[in-house]
Structure 1
């Protein structure tokens, strides 16, 4: 765990690193654990129509909160599917298997917050390379503990 921050973190829209995705969406990297004293990590994810956001996985050490900013998302949560529209919130506790994506026929924009934070910007950059066919998915498997993303 990193030491507690004594200053506020401010990330203006033009300062967030963007990792483009092939369906027209992107990861917007807002805050890594190292910039929040380990308190949280945050990113914004925009998804093209019907695009997948994540394969089934769980986090062993962190809770993940999703707030749907726009569009409609589908979340698979430990075997059940929930549809959540703009303004809806989903909070996934550590250990609960989940996946998510934009609902069929809809784009989506969501804020994701992981707490306690894990430095995962490198993970999102790798996902971008994987989705563009520049890196095989299997290269992420040895990094599951590092990023606290455990694929099913």
Structure 2
């Protein structure tokens, strides 16, 4: 058995509280969304990454992808988000929560005709803010899209083809 004694447990440093004020939070923007960076993976966060995205009507989110190390959590603050998990497309509405486990293909966008305001959390976290910054630069034409593919291992974003998502987008067009 590998139990810690009370003295050993007491010497471990607990993660510190993390507070990010809206007025000082960094934002990344592209033509169709604004991401507010809340907490990146760091010893102080206890191992999570969180950001908030506001999507314009019909704005695309990430392409179909999966993560090998993290679960991705979605909480819809307002509006509606169209998501594909595996092969199933659904609409998340205000107050809905979704947890996507590792190795599960998923993709999301603002639902047709809707805006969406969504809180994202990754656990365990990893330094993802550089990825979000890169996305903004690519969307604004300031960086080459191949940089996203080249960063897949570093940021644990593994892109896949999704015929089910393409069919859902065509049906809503």
Alignment TM class, shorter chain as reference:
over 0.9
- Which residue in the other structure is 2:78 paired with? 70
Please, which runs of 5 or more residues in structure 2 have no aligned partner? 1-11, 161-173
Bigger fraction of residues in helix = 2
**Contact 2:72–2:122, Cα closer than 8 Å, also in 1:** yes
Note the alpha carbon deviations across 1:69-118, whole angstroms, 9 max, x for none.
01010001111101010100111000000000101110000000000001
- Which residue in the other structure is 2:88 paired with? 80
| Residue 54 (structure 2) pairs with residue 42 (structure 1) | no
User: Following TM superposition, by how much is the alpha carbon of 1:35 offset from its aligned partner in structure 2, in angstroms?
Assistant: 5.5
Helix, strand or coil at the partner of 1:53: coil
User: Following TM superposition, by how much is the alpha carbon of 1:132 offset from its aligned partner in structure 2, in angstroms?
Assistant: 1.1
Helix, strand or coil at the partner of 1:55: coil
**Contact 2:67–2:156, Cα closer than 8 Å, also in 1:** yes
Report the RMSD for the aligned CA atoms in angstroms.
1.5
How far apart in 2 are the matches of 1:38 and 1:149?
21
When residues 37 and 73 of structure 1 are mapped into structure 2, their CA distance, relative to the original with a 3 A threshold, is closer
- Which residue in the other structure is 2:97 paired with? 89
- Which residue in the other structure is 1:138 paired with? 146
- Which residue in the other structure is 1:100 paired with? 108
Bigger fraction of residues in strand = 1
Helix, strand or coil at the partner of 1:67: strand
When residues 44 and 5 of structure 1 are mapped into structure 2, their CA distance, relative to the original with a 3 A threshold, is farther
Question: TM-score when scaled to structure 1?
Answer: 0.93
- Which residue in the other structure is 1:21 paired with? 30
When residues 63 and 74 of structure 1 are mapped into structure 2, their CA distance, relative to the original with a 3 A threshold, is same
How far apart in 2 are the matches of 1:5 and 1:26?
32
User: Following TM superposition, by how much is the alpha carbon of 1:130 offset from its aligned partner in structure 2, in angstroms?
Assistant: 1.0
- Which residue in the other structure is 2:16 paired with? 7
Question: TM-score when scaled to structure 2?
Answer: 0.82
When residues 121 and 32 of structure 1 are mapped into structure 2, their CA distance, relative to the original with a 3 A threshold, is same
- Which residue in the other structure is 2:155 paired with? 147
When residues 49 and 32 of structure 1 are mapped into structure 2, their CA distance, relative to the original with a 3 A threshold, is same
How far apart in 2 are the matches of 1:48 and 1:35?
33
